[in-house]
Amino acid sequence: MLRKDILLIINPNASKGRGRKKAKEIQALFRELGRECTVAYTRGPGHAESLAKRGASYGYATIVAAGGDGTVNEVINGIMKSGTEDVSMGIIPIGRGNDFAWIAGIPTNQRKAVRLIASGRPSRIDVGLCRGDAHSDMYFVNGAGFGFEPMVNFRAMGYRRINGMLSYAVAFLYILRHPPLPYDIRISVDGEERHISTQQISVANGRRMGSAFIVAPIASIDDGMFDVMFTNHALDRKGILRAVIAFFRGAQLSDKELFSYIRAREVTIDSARPEVQAHCDGECFTESGTSFRLSILPRALSLVKKDAQ
């Protein structure tokens, strides 16, 4: 008997407008493997989160995010906010950015991704939680960024005709011509406090952001720790370019003059001025914040994945 235990959440406009066709293909692939899935189409920003929360409360065994990092983040938030612990998550990467799928070893081939989910062998991964002044809590699995990183990311998300690595490259060139002023930051990492003047802070659970940038070279999504990286001092255009090249190569650990790289469970960030932009998994947390509190929740989510890359 076919089991109706999978909820597939997909944007009908995903994959260049082929979301509905993709959904039918995915359903057929699951059926070939003796599994049945129900499709739920999103109607706009935030809808994937509410669908996932409702699906978890309805008792679906597996909730699948078919899309990019934004859809993945919304589904994770829905599952986590449902308070349901016996639901697993699957990913079929068909979006414009698929960093977390890459980290989790999810095949980009649709048939292979479906086969992985149908195997039903999930494992537990860590989840980050970001809290901010006057902002709703937001969960994340890849990373949170503050300053230069979200500036580039938000600009890249605004492009309609380009995506992937090209959109980040174009956005970077724009921000490089208009570099942000440094923030006066008080940062506490597992209770150890320091003051820094910086334009960039990354709190990572996974390794890669922005399609090609290795933000945290030694991060793991199931080790119960954040990898925290920030630039040690204010940077001019040349310094920003040097930092971005290090991100591209994953060379932050070897450049101690430019970067601090710390592993931790709790991070607090307080800015002297309230213009700090912040993202979680590439999704906007705020465009003007002052205080942030980040915690790692070890093994808080069940994910069908391969070995992390």
Condensed to tens digits (0 to 9), the pLDDT of residues 116-174 reads: 999 878 999 999 999 998 678 999 999 999 988 888 778 877 777 777 677 777 877 88
Q: Quick check: 19 pLDDT over 90?
A: no
* Alpha carbon distance 91, 100 (integer Å): 9
Torsion of CA 74, 76, 77, 78, to 10 degrees: 90
- Dihedral sign for Cα 248, 211, 108, 55, please: positive
Question: According to CATH, what is the number of the domain 129-298?
Answer: 2.60.200.40
Predicted confidence at residue 304, as pLDDT, reads 95
Predicted confidence at residue 1, as pLDDT, reads 32
CB 73 within 8 A of CB 48: no
Burial of 309 (0-12, 13-18, 19+ CB in 10 A): exposed
Predicted confidence at residue 309, as pLDDT, reads 43
Band (pLDDT 50/70/90 cuts) for residue 252 is: confident
Predicted confidence at residue 262, as pLDDT, reads 95
Predicted confidence at residue 253, as pLDDT, reads 85
The pTM of the full predicted model, rounded to 2 decimals, is 0.91
The rounded mean pLDDT for the chain is 90
> Across residues 262-276, what is the average pLDDT?
93
> Across residues 35-60, what is the average pLDDT?
94
Predicted confidence at residue 2, as pLDDT, reads 37
CB 135 within 8 A of CB 285: yes
Question: How many angstroms separate the Cα of 207 from the Cα of each of 57, 59, 167, 261?
Answer: 31, 32, 20, 13
In the chain, where are the structural domains located? 3-121, 129-298
> Across residues 223-231, what is the average pLDDT?
96
* Alpha carbon distance 38, 150 (integer Å): 34
Strands 3-10 and 35-41: parallel
Question: According to CATH, what is the number of the domain 3-121?
Answer: 3.40.50.10330
> Across residues 226-243, what is the average pLDDT?
90
